[in-house]
Amino acid sequence: MPKTLIKVDINKPAEKQDMLPHNRWHPDIPFVASVNPGEDFRIECLDWTGGQIVDDNDATDMRDVDLTKVHYLSGPVEIAGADPGDLLVVDILDIGAFQESEWGFTGIFARENGGGFLVDHYPEARKACWDFHGIYATSRHVPGVRIHGMSHPGLIGCLPSRELLNEWNAREAELIATDPNRIPPLAAPPYADTALLGHMPPQQAKEAAKVGARTVPPREHGGNVDIKNLTRGSRIYFPVYVEGGGLSVGDLHFSQGDGEITFCGAIEMAGWIDLHVDLIKGGMEKYGIKNPIFKTGTSGPNYNDFLVFEGISVDERGKQYYLDAHVAYRQAALNAIEYLKKFGYSGEQAYVILGTAPVEGRISGIVDIPNACATLYIPTEIFEFNIMPDSAGPRVLVDRAVELAKPT
């Protein structure tokens, strides 16, 4: 095992961890550890809610989760010799849950909490808990599926420079200003009250908290990209913006579908990630890199049989949109859910399956006015029964009495 750079204690609240996580992005967050290019190391991570969600049959915790207190990131780690303009090469060597905590959760968020991709259809909080069986996850709340997960960090990236941070804040503020009272909001602005800035001295942290970028969106440095393919064996090339790089990671997912559509849509877990780092000096300029790029690896699951649902940019009320891939993907998801309901799943269960299984979401057509065409690929092998259409029609093999957890 590589040396463990950062340890967490899942029985303590995030704020009490020895490692002092951060939940905002700011160039001045002090490094908690340092490695050399060429080194392997392990980083432990809290689950993205820092333990707010428990393994039970009551979704009250999911309904009441405090979203300003999430994404407790482990880091930043200094990479010796990293300078702005370099590319930080990160190999994902392995990822796993803690042995004493081999479970995960998925939530549908309530509208009040931002909801998910299909909030108009599924506005209430729900929870599914998953048990891990080696490479597989099953859920007592979602019968009939066994998912070989493509485990990955939902959130990983380097610290932004001051200039980049300013740019983020400016452009997001401008968007919010177009509809400042919208619920849910258009973006998540800095929010000092719940900001954690790791080992930053209190007075400095107080100032930094006012401008520290929220961790919700992915940005130029990576961040909350939620790309399921950043799994074991992938190699990521991150832009470096500050001296030492400052690599942080968190929000580990046992599995997730493209889009992470229920918002808390992955199978969320606490756990560890093993990384190897290297540097390409001056790589941003050499390769014209603005956002991270990555190379896929050779690890599984290598599902190869998919049932695919199409969606076009006409919404569920018949309204036509112009090349809107968001609308098109939503239609593909809704179409898939209607289909799965024929086999006995509730809409909420089907929604969770799309969020958690390694479904692929594709932008199939983006130029044929006025309809974007999106496709959603479900690996058929996750189901314990045959979900292909045939003349006999669907057989309801799922026990309709089983449901996602609701708030009590």
Footprint on residues 114-173 left by a copy of itself (CB under 8 A): 114, 116-117, 133-136, 148, 167, 171-172
Residue with smaller CB distance to a copy of itself, 287 or 400: 287
CB of 221 to a copy of itself, least distance (A): 10
50 touches a copy of itself by CB under 8 A: no
x/- mask, a copy of itself, residues 377-396, rule CB under 8 A, reads x--xx----x-xxxx-xx--
Contact with a copy of itself (CB under 8 A) among 99, 181, 203, 408:
99
Residues 6+ apart with CB under 8 A from 25: 159, 160, 165, 168, 212, 213, 214, 215, 221, 223
237 touches a copy of itself by CB under 8 A: yes
Contact with a copy of itself (CB under 8 A) among 44, 258, 268, 348:
258
Nearest Cα neighbor of 76 from 23, 9, 17 is 23
- Report how far Cα 288 is from the mean position of its chain's Cα atoms: 26
CB of 112 to a copy of itself, least distance (A): 15
CB of 177 to a copy of itself, least distance (A): 11
> Which residues are registered as beta bridge partners of 96?
272
Judged by CB under 8 A, the number of residues near a copy of itself is 129
Planar angle of CA 22, 165, 197, nearest 5 degrees:
15
Residue with smaller CB distance to a copy of itself, 242 or 312: 312
Write b or e for each residue in 362-391: b if 16 or more Cβ atoms lie within 10 A of its Cβ, otherwise e: bebbeeeeebbbbbbbbbeebbeeebeeee
Helix (H, G, I), strand (E, B) or coil at 77: strand
CB of 275 to a copy of itself, least distance (A): 9
Here the tokens at position 126 are 């729900």
82 touches a copy of itself by CB under 8 A: no
335 touches a copy of itself by CB under 8 A: yes
Footprint on residues 205-224 left by a copy of itself (CB under 8 A): 216-220, 222, 224
10 touches a copy of itself by CB under 8 A: no
Phi, psi of 209 (to 5 degrees): -60, -30
Here the tokens at position 145 are 């599926």
CB of 29 to a copy of itself, least distance (A): 21
Q: 139: how many CB neighbours lie within 10 A of its CB?
A: 25
397 touches a copy of itself by CB under 8 A: no
CB of 402 to a copy of itself, least distance (A): 17
6-14, 15-23, 27-35, 287-295 -> range binding a copy of itself (CB under 8 A): 287-295
Contact with a copy of itself (CB under 8 A) among 353, 373, 398, 404:
373
5-13, 19-27, 76-84, 295-303 -> range binding a copy of itself (CB under 8 A): 295-303
Q: In whole angstroms, how far apart are CA 165 and each of 27, 148, 158, 160, 363?
A: 8, 37, 12, 6, 30
Tell me how far apart the alpha carbons of residues 46 and 74 are, in angstroms, rounded to a whole number. 8
Contact with a copy of itself (CB under 8 A) among 265, 267, 353, 398:
265
Residue with smaller CB distance to a copy of itself, 68 or 204: 68
Count Cβ atoms within 10 A of the Cβ of residue 101 and give its class: 0-12 exposed, 13-18 middle, 19 or more buried: middle
CB of 117 to a copy of itself, least distance (A): 5
Tell me how far apart the alpha carbons of residues 34 and 75 are, in angstroms, rounded to a whole number. 10
